[in-house]
Amino acid sequence: VEQSNLNRQILFTAEDIGKPKAALVARRLSAQNPEIEIEAISDKLTETNASELASGCDLIIDGLDNHSDRLKLNKASFDLGIPFVYGAINEWLGQLSLFNPPQTACLACLLPEKLQNPEVTPVFGALPGVIGSLQATLALRYLMTGENPVSNALLIFRGDTITFETVTFERRPGCGVCGKPSR
């Protein structure tokens, strides 16, 4: 846990700085609901272990704070055929989508470049709760109905104006994750 996490991650306190996030989250969530089974994994996400970690899951939910790790989850999602609920935040802007292989395009189609990950990303403190709640709603809706209301679309929330917009996108033919090879 880092100091910069405290305004946006409600499970941590100043006393947690320097401690591993996964174990703290597991302990706090188990205290809230002792009926759930939580496996805390503190390993760094790699291209090699992303598929191992996701294997056997019904759905992947992005709770990451950097684009390069999201691209690793995206690839695992499409390699394994597991739907992937994406969410990201930056300053006043939040966005989410649900990538559903092989029916939809993938995150690499939407944001193909490796984005620069600043050391600390400024974020309006309430925004992670808004986007996280929308991700949870999208995940539960998909698991209950099999429907994807944001198929090939990115839902963008602007916290500074409290407005939503939807941007559609398509599969890139040459995408190395989900596209068909270019001829």
* CATH code (residue 171): 3.40.50.720
pTM, two decimals, is: 0.86
Q: Out of 5-14, 99-108, 156-165, pick the least confident.
A: 5-14
**Residue 23: domain span:** 1-42
Residues 20 and 51 reside in one and the same domain: no
pLDDT in tens, 127-167: 999 999 999 999 999 999 999 999 999 999 999 999 999 99
pLDDT in tens, 46-103: 999 999 999 999 999 998 888 899 999 999 999 999 999 999 999 999 999 999 999 9
CA 52, 58, 64, 69 dihedral sign is positive
Q: In this structure, are residues 62 and 73 in contact, taking their beta carbons and an 8 Å threshold?
A: yes
CA angle 32, 69, 49 (to 5 degrees): 85
Q: In this structure, are residues 161 and 125 in contact, taking their beta carbons and an 8 Å threshold?
A: no
Q: Put the strands of the sheet holding 153-158 in their side by side order.
A: 60-61, 84-90, 93-99, 153-158, 163-168
User: How far does CA 58 lie from the centroid of its chain?
Assistant: 15
- Count structural domains, the chain: 2
CA 16, 22, 25, 26 dihedral sign is negative
Q: In this structure, are residues 86 and 70 in contact, taking their beta carbons and an 8 Å threshold?
A: yes
Cα 24 from Cα 98, distance rounded (Å): 28
Residues 21 and 53 reside in one and the same domain: no
- CA atoms lying within 13 Å on the CB side of residue 136: 6
Residues 83 and 145 reside in one and the same domain: yes
Residues 59 and 141 reside in one and the same domain: yes
pLDDT band at 182 (very low <50, low <70, confident <90, very high): very low
